[in-house]
């Protein structure tokens, strides 16, 4: 298998797991909150899901195959935070992280940008067979709040998960 086919296979696996986890998390949140979440159907939307009746709220999910404490920061794409910066006066942005040890969230606050608690820097990985490099925002793990440890990113859990419907 050459580098590009390895990359494509691993990228597709990660993408598929992300889509599965989006459905699982939305179903979980719809059961465990008084909100009704739904997937954003527009393929060009920067955010994954919204809440019925809350047009000024946007949510994004990142699934991670690691534990919350494995790294000092969580990553989020540059464009997503730039959208939150641009619309922070009129919209609320919530970033969700599904880790092996639970579902966490971060409520975006412009003060975290101004104080540089959240910062922009280069990120690089080679785990999919070739080097990927892009600008991302780093969110200190201390800014993440545990929502629930009843749902995780563990693949074993996904097979029998009641939130897969």
- Give me the number of domains the chain comprises: 1
pTM strictly above 0.85? yes
CB atoms within 10 A of CB 144: 20
Look up residue 16 and give its two tokens: 């598929």
Rounded alpha-carbon distances, angstroms, from residue 57 to 23, 86, 98, 139: 18, 14, 19, 20
58-68: pLDDT as tens digits: 999 999 999 99
Q: Which residue segment(s) compose the domain that 21 sits in? A: 3-164
104-132: pLDDT as tens digits: 999 999 999 999 999 999 999 787 788 88
Q: What is the CATH number of the domain that holds 61?
A: 3.40.1350
């Amino acid at each position: 298998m050459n580098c590009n086919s390895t990359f494509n296979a691993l990228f597709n696996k990660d993408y598929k797991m992300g889509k599965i986890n989006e459905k699982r998390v939305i179903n979980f949140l719809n059961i465990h909150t008084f909100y009704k979440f739904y997937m954003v159907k527009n393929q060009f939307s920067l955010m994954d899901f919204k809440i019925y009746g809350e047009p000024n709220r946007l949510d994004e999910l990142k699934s991670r195959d690691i534990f919350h404490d494995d790294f000092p920061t969580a990553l989020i794409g540059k464009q997503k935070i730039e959208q939150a910066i641009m619309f922070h006066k009129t919209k609320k942005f919530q970033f969700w992280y599904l880790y092996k040890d639970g579902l966490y969230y971060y409520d975006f606050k412009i003060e975290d940008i101004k104080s540089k608690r959240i910062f922009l820097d280069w990120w690089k990985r080679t785990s999919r067979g070739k080097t990927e490099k892009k600008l991302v925002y780093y969110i200190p793990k201390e800014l993440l709040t545990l929502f629930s440890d009843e749902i995780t990113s563990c693949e074993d859990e996904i097979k029998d998960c009641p939130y897969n419907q």
